[in-house]
């Protein structure tokens, strides 16, 4: 209400920044220390982190919606992962491969995950206040049932004649190989194909919005619609024509994009966006719109310059990115954002903040919580599919076990807490957590001189991360309370 | 038109588990009128409003009797949603706001304006996109109506309490077709100037033809702002008055007006020597930060050998006083006790120096429910004073024989109805539990006994026994007693003097036979002073 109260000196700003981001800062410092101790090759670390980023981020993004609805960290995403794995057994068994195989896995895992999510949601409604513990135990319980399913029911009860079956006639082999069927089915989609696909999706979307708007008489902007059609068509055409231009085809037509090229592309994209914004709005100097244009331009230049530095460029050149996987991650994040701005999202936020207020405002609390859990479980199932197609082979009986643990640890490292988690925190968290995940065992090996220690380090590290960030969050909250009193 | 009622509740009765809390109450409110609903704690105001608002607690306990007419038509309000549809709004005592939301989001809570999207045409209305500019627009209109100068995008968290109250009101006003608003003790949490603003706002709302039911204990506010009032007492309808035809004293009398029956009758012998010179406990500038029962600066003297009552309405701070002395909640100020000073910040200091406390929270703080009666009677004395212990060099063991003996004596002396000293205290009835609590306090041989709400939640017969016991201890053993109670009648039947606390401050000390009006006014914080 009083603006003069909010003005702070630079020292206070720095202090606030540090105290608001102390969890992230702690892990940044820890990462740097570990990298220095381990003496690891930066190219190697960057490559590992980016590949883990593509693999894990979708799973982590599945945690955001239940957190918003006040369910805390949903350790129950393990059941989503189980839904994904069950669907893989059948789709692979039926002989589907590549992109169609992957899409069929999505189609089959979704109803399964919805069912599991619904059951999980009902459990959470019975255990209000201790959803995290309930989710954790549910994960163990579901994993037990799943073991029974994979080791006995597959082949033992349900006929399943497959080379993955054990010789005794029932039970699956310990490792389930995806090579030649689902491995890299999404990762291998080229940038140009991705662009075409996204372009077509965008065209369809604008068309439906236009027709929908016309049908319900909400008033349609025909000029905007034409511009959107042109923009979509340009992307589609670029995707198709690009394959015929040798330069573009070698850069973007392969199954991975070199990070250096991606950085350049991003820089050019930002620059074009900044110019378009400038021409479209012609903002006066000093206005927020002008600053926005300036920000994008400066960012583009920074990206461009870093790519010119030989050392950095060498790192950039060593990292290869899967285009479609990153597009899926962007879709997950966009979905979370979109949901917040719907009536349902608002209800979830209300329920998350105060259930009795929500009830008195006429919101069906239990139903809202079940929907949030279902969405999370479905996203987790899809996330696990992305994870497994990248991994290429998985441990049939216990692949899902650490899904909840690692995902929760990652988002907490990103500064999230059990009450609030955002896309940004998920992305930062995945990067930081997996950097540490890669370098901490290396550093430990360097210090102790024993490479076998790395697995223990990881386990200790994941649980430790959760404990530490929960404690730090609690101390942050406690501090605020003390101030208020 | 003038006399047509917007709301007419007639012959309302309600039972909770065989306990009649409303016995045929009428409530009539005209459009555009501010109508006060008055009564002591437990008079049935909240139950009546819960019935009007269709709260689940009413229907899950067997519904109610009587009829409700709204806008001239008989209605059946089975849930809050139905009440809202009819145009009944409620400004709650505890805020129904989400701190992490903006003002606009709170005002539009559950009634968000949204636009259709593709997803919503497939999956239903819940996936419509929020129309935030329209929500902000509506919020501004509501805020302007009540003259609240905050931005629609400001966060509710961190706002002063008074502002939150107004945000709640803005939410009710924003609801289309609102005809009746219920204000449930809205001024209880406000500062004086905020309360004045609120009363002004109520006049503005009423001038738009919206009827208001105003629940409050503050008689001066009722005189100032209302057109008419209904007074309840013990679940019965006392009277419906036009404000201009009455006075503050008359209202106070109607609220309290009850026969004081001497609960303790055999008081023929009174050999006590009580003198104003012999002060046992003195509080100076005493503050306690107990949530919901704040004490805001009290000076009080307790004479040796007397029974001092502390009365007042719930939430005004009377319960905070003993809890502060015992150090159970953060407290500040001076406590002088029998030549010593007590440090309220040190838990157990008061216990060590000879003050025993029987808490109002019998089942929570007062008893170890899953322990035996003998354990409950002796554990404080064992812990604080080292009684009932056998010593083996540096080690100690509880002397179970002595414990049992003492418990049996106490059971006999206080007539605790139980199967034996080993019975779990959680299995006892309320009255017998209270006796166990008293037995524990007596076991410590305290110089001063403080009992807080000793008769809460126990039946009439047991009440009488507990009160008689207190009188007996005072008369026969000369124990000084402070008794804190919401039941003025009890205090008047037993105490030598009664201090009334309102809004955390002392508003007067009265003799037990002072008039109802005096007590009523002191309880609603109108007068200062007293005569005892």
Q: Do B101 and A349 touch (CB under 8 A)?
A: yes
Q: Does A245 touch chain B (CB under 8 A)?
A: no
d(CA A271, CA A289): 15
Mean pLDDT of A442-468: 79
Q: Do B109 and A357 touch (CB under 8 A)?
A: yes
Residues B176-188: pLDDT tens digits?
778 898 888 777 6
- Predicted local confidence at residue B467, as pLDDT: 85
Q: Does A16 touch chain B (CB under 8 A)?
A: no
- Distance (Å) of CA B371 to CA A67, A230, B383, B433: 40, 79, 15, 12
d(CA A210, CA A222): 8
Q: Calculate the CA A326 to chain-centre distance.
A: 9
- Predicted local confidence at residue B531, as pLDDT: 45
Angle at A168 between CA A165 and CA A169, to 5 degrees: 55
Sequence length of chain A is 485
Do A430 and A52 contact (CB within 8 A), yes or no? yes
d(CA A251, CA A392): 25
Using CA of residue B222, residue B67, residue B49, residue B90, what is the dihedral sign?
A: negative
Selected for mutation to probe chain B from A350, A352, A369, A378 (highest B CB count within 10 Å) is A350
- Distance (Å) of CA A431 to CA A55, A306, A316, A337, A409: 11, 19, 16, 20, 12
Do B336 and B383 reside in the same domain of the chain? yes
> Smallest CA–CA separation between A368 and chain B, in Å?
10
- CATH number of the domain residue B151 falls in: 3.40.50.300
End-to-end CA distance of chain A: 20
pTM reported for the whole predicted model: 0.75
Do B352 and B215 reside in the same domain of the chain? no
Q: Do B98 and A357 touch (CB under 8 A)?
A: yes
Q: For residue B193, give the H/E element and its range.
A: helix B192-207
- Predicted local confidence at residue A445, as pLDDT: 82
Q: Does B122 touch chain A (CB under 8 A)?
A: no
- The yes-or-no verdict on residue A271 having pLDDT over 50 is yes
Q: How many CB atoms lie within 10 A of CB B483?
A: 26
From the list B470, B528, B461, the residue with the least C-alpha distance to B500 is B528
Residues B463-510: pLDDT tens digits?
778 888 888 888 888 889 999 988 787 888 888 899 998 888 888 888
Do B242 and B289 reside in the same domain of the chain? no
Q: Which member of B84, B116, B130 has the closest CB to residue A341?
A: B130
* Structural domain includes residue B490: yes
Residues B200-249: pLDDT tens digits?
888 888 888 889 999 887 777 888 889 998 988 878 888 888 888 888 77
Do B58 and B145 reside in the same domain of the chain? yes
- Residue B24 — φ and ψ, nearest 5°? 75, 70
- Predicted local confidence at residue B81, as pLDDT: 79
* Structural domain includes residue B201: yes
Q: Do A1 and B101 touch (CB under 8 A)?
A: no
Contacts with A300 (C-beta within 8 Å, 6 or more apart), sequence order: A266, A267, A268, A270, A271, A274
- Distance (Å) of CA B188 to CA B92, B206, B218: 11, 21, 9
Selected for mutation to probe chain B from A347, A360, A421 (highest B CB count within 10 Å) is A360
> Whole domain around residue B371: which residue ranges?
279-523
Do B283 and B248 reside in the same domain of the chain? no
Q: Does B115 touch chain A (CB under 8 A)?
A: yes
Q: For residue A101, give the H/E element and its range.
A: helix A98-126
- Predicted local confidence at residue A193, as pLDDT: 92
Nearest-by-CA chain A residue for B154: A1
- Residue B313 — φ and ψ, nearest 5°? -80, 165
Residues B500-530: pLDDT tens digits?
988 888 888 888 888 888 888 888 776 554 4
Q: How many CA atoms lie within 13 A of B317 on its CB side?
A: 24
Q: Do A362 and B80 touch (CB under 8 A)?
A: yes
Q: How many CB atoms lie within 10 A of CB A217?
A: 7
- Predicted local confidence at residue B353, as pLDDT: 87
Percent of chain B whose predicted confidence (pLDDT) is above 90: 5
d(CA B68, CA A34): 73
Give contacts of B117 with chain A, Cβ < 8 Å. 342
Using CA of residue A256, residue A260, residue A261, residue A266, what is the dihedral sign?
A: positive
- Predicted local confidence at residue B3, as pLDDT: 53
d(CA B226, CA B212): 9
> Smallest CA–CA separation between B8 and chain A, in Å?
24
Q: Does A3 touch chain B (CB under 8 A)?
A: no
- The yes-or-no verdict on residue B261 having pLDDT over 80 is no
Do B510 and B497 contact (CB within 8 A), yes or no? yes
- Distance (Å) of CA B405 to CA B98, B379, B396: 56, 14, 19
Q: Do B130 and A212 touch (CB under 8 A)?
A: no
Q: Does A198 touch chain B (CB under 8 A)?
A: no
Structural domain spans, chain A: 24-32+39-186+322-478, 191-319
* pLDDT band for position B435 (cuts 50, 70, 90): confident
- The yes-or-no verdict on residue B64 having pLDDT over 80 is yes
- The yes-or-no verdict on residue B197 having pLDDT over 90 is no
Do A316 and A258 contact (CB within 8 A), yes or no? yes
Q: What is the CATH number of domain A24-32+39-186+322-478?
A: 1.10.3470
Angle at A271 between CA A267 and CA A274, to 5 degrees: 140
- Predicted local confidence at residue A81, as pLDDT: 96
> Smallest CA–CA separation between B323 and chain A, in Å?
19
Q: Does B180 touch chain A (CB under 8 A)?
A: no
* Structural domain includes residue B529: no
- Predicted local confidence at residue A356, as pLDDT: 82
Give contacts of A218 with chain B, Cβ < 8 Å. 115-116
Beta partners for residue B242, in sequence order: B228
Give me the number of domains chain B comprises: 2
Do B251 and B305 reside in the same domain of the chain? no
Q: Which member of B96, B127, B150 has the closest CB to residue A360?
A: B96
* Structural domain includes residue B269: no
A177: its two tokens:
């190989």
- Predicted local confidence at residue A5, as pLDDT: 46
* Structural domain includes residue B266: no
* Structural domain includes residue B106: yes
* Structural domain includes residue B203: yes
d(CA B399, CA B196): 62
Do B219 and B288 reside in the same domain of the chain? no
What's the DSSP call for residue B530?
A: B
Write the burial class of residue B276 (CB in 10 Å: 0-12 exposed, 13-18 middle, 19+ buried): exposed
Q: Which residue has the tokens 């309102």?
A: B502
Hey, is A313 helix, strand or coil? helix
Size of interface A-B (CB pairs under 8 A): 71
Do B491 and B523 contact (CB within 8 A), yes or no? no
What's the DSSP call for residue A165?
A: B
The angle, 0 to 180 degrees and rounded to 10, between the axes of the packed helices B460-477 and B430-443 is: 20
Q: Does B57 touch chain A (CB under 8 A)?
A: no
Give contacts of B111 with chain A, Cβ < 8 Å. 361-362
* pLDDT band for position A139 (cuts 50, 70, 90): very high
Q: Where are the beta strands (DSSP E) in B2-59?
A: 7-16, 19-29, 34-38
The interface predicted TM-score (ipTM) is 0.73
d(CA B232, CA B253): 12
d(CA A315, CA B508): 81
Q: Which string of b and e fits A24-48 if b means at least 16 CB within 10 Å?
A: beebbebbeebbebbebeeeebbbb
d(CA B135, CA B142): 11
A349: left (phi over 0), alpha (psi -120 to 50) or beta: alpha
Least confident span in A267-271, A336-340, A392-396, B114-118: B114-118
């Amino acid at each position: 209400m009083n603006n003069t109260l909010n003005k702070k000196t630079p020292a206070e700003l720095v202090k606030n920044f540090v105290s608001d981001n102390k969890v992230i800062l702690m892990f940044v410092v820890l990462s740097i220390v570990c990298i220095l101790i381990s003496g690891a090759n930066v190219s190697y670390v960057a490559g590992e982190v980016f590949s883990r980023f593509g693999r894990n981020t979708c799973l982590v993004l599945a945690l955001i919606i239940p957190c918003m609805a006040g369910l805390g960290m949903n350790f129950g995403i393990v059941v989503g992962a189980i839904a994904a794995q069950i669907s893989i057994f059948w789709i692979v068994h039926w002989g589907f491969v590549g992109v169609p195989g992957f899409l069929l896995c999505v189609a089959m895992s979704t109803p399964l995950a919805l069912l599991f999510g619904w059951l999980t949601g009902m459990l959470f409604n019975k255990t209000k206040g201790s959803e995290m513990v309930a989710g954790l135990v549910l994960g163990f319980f579901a994993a037990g049932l799943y073991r029974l399913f994979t080791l006995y029911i597959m082949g033992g009860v349900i006929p399943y004649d497959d080379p993955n079956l054990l010789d005794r006639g029932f039970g699956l082999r310990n490792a389930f190989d995806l090579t030649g069927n689902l491995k890299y089915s999404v990762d291998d989609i080229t940038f140009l194909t991705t662009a075409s696909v996204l372009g077509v999706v965008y065209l369809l979307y604008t068309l439906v919005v236009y027709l929908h708007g016309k049908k319900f008489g909400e008033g349609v902007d025909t000029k905007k619609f034409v511009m959107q059609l042109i923009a979509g068509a340009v992307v589609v055409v670029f995707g198709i024509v690009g394959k015929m231009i040798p330069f573009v085809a070698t850069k973007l037509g392969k199954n991975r994009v070199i990070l250096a090229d991606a950085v350049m592309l991003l820089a050019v994209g930002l620059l074009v966006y900044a110019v378009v914004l400038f021409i479209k709005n012609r903002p006066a100097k000093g206005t927020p719109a002008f600053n926005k244009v300036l920000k994008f331009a400066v960012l583009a230049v920074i990206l461009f310059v870093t790519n010119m530095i030989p050392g950095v460029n060498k790192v950039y050149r060593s990292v290869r990115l899967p285009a479609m996987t990153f597009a899926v991650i962007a879709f997950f994040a966009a979905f979370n954002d979109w949901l917040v701005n719907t009536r349902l999202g608002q209800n979830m936020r209300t329920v998350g903040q105060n259930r009795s207020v929500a009830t008195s405002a006429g919101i069906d609390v239990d139903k809202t919580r079940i929907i949030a859990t279902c969405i999370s479980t479905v996203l987790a199932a899809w996330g696990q599919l992305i994870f497994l197609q990248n991994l290429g082979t998985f441990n049939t009986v216990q692949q899902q076990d650490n899904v909840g643990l690692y995902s929760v640890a990652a988002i907490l490292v990103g500064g999230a807490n059990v009450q609030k988690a955002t896309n940004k925190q998920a992305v930062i968290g995945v990067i930081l957590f997996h950097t540490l995940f890669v370098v901490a065992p290396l550093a430990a090996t360097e210090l102790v001189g024993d490479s076998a220690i790395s697995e223990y380090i990881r386990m200790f590290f994941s649980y430790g991360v959760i404990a530490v960030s929960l404690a730090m969050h609690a101390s942050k909250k406690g501090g605020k309370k003390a101030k208020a009193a | 038109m003038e006399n047509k009622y917007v709301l007419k509740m007639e012959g309302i009765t309600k039972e909770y588990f065989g306990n009649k809390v409303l016995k045929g109450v009428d409530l009539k409110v005209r459009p555009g009128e501010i109508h006060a609903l008055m009564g002591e704690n437990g008079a049935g105001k909240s139950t009546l409003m819960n019935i009007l608002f269709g709260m689940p607690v009413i229907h899950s306990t067997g519904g109610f009797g009587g009829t409700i007419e709204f806008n001239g038509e008989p209605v059946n309000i089975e849930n809050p949603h139905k009440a809202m549809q009819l145009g009944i709004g409620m400004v709650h005592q505890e805020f129904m706001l989400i701190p992490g939301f903006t003002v606009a989001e709170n005002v539009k809570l559950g009634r968000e304006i949204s636009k259709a999207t593709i997803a919503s045409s497939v999956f239903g209305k819940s996936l419509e996109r929020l129309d935030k500019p329209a929500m902000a627009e509506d919020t501004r209109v509501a805020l302007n109506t009540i003259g609240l100068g905050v931005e629609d995008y400001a966060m509710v968290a961190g706002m002063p309490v008074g502002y939150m109250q107004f945000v709640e009101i803005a939410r009710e006003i924003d609801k289309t077709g609102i005809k009746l608003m219920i204000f449930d003790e809205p001024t209880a949490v406000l500062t004086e100037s905020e309360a004045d603003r609120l009363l002004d706002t109520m006049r503005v709302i009423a001038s738009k033809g919206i009827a208001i039911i105003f629940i409050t204990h503050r008689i001066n506010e009722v005189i100032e702002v209302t057109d008419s009032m209904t007074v309840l007492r013990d679940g019965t309808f006392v009277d419906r008055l036009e404000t201009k035809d009455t006075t503050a004293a008359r209202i106070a009398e109607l609220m309290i007006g009850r026969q004081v029956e001497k609960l303790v009758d055999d008081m023929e012998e009174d050999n006590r020597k009580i003198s104003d010179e012999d002060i046992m406990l003195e509080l100076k500038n005493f503050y306690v930060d107990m949530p919901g029962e704040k004490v805001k600066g009290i000076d009080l003297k307790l004479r040796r050998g007397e029974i001092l009552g502390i009365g007042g309405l719930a939430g005004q701070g009377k319960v905070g006083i003993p809890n502060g002395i015992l150090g159970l909640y953060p407290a500040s100020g001076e406590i002088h006790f029998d030549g010593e000073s007590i440090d309220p910040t040190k838990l157990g200091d008061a216990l060590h120096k000879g003050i025993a406390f029987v808490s109002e929270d019998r089942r929570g703080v007062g008893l170890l429910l899953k322990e035996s009666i003998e354990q409950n009677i002796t554990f404080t004395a064992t812990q604080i004073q080292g009684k009932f212990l056998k010593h083996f060099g540096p080690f100690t063991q509880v002397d179970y024989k002595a414990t049992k003996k003492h418990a049996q004596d106490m059971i006999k002396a206080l007539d605790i109805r139980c199967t034996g000293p080993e019975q779990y205290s959680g299995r006892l009835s309320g009255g017998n539990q209270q006796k166990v609590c008293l037995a524990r306090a007596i076991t410590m041989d305290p110089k001063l006994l403080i009992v807080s709400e000793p008769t809460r939640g126990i039946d009439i017969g047991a009440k009488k026994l507990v009160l008689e016991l207190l009188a007996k201890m005072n008369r026969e053993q000369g124990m000084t007693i402070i008794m804190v109670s919401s039941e003025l009648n009890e205090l008047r039947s037993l105490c030598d003097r009664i201090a009334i606390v309102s809004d955390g401050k002392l508003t007067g000390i009265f003799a037990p036979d002072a008039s109802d009006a005096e007590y009523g006014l002191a309880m609603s914080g109108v007068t200062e002073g007293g005569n005892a």
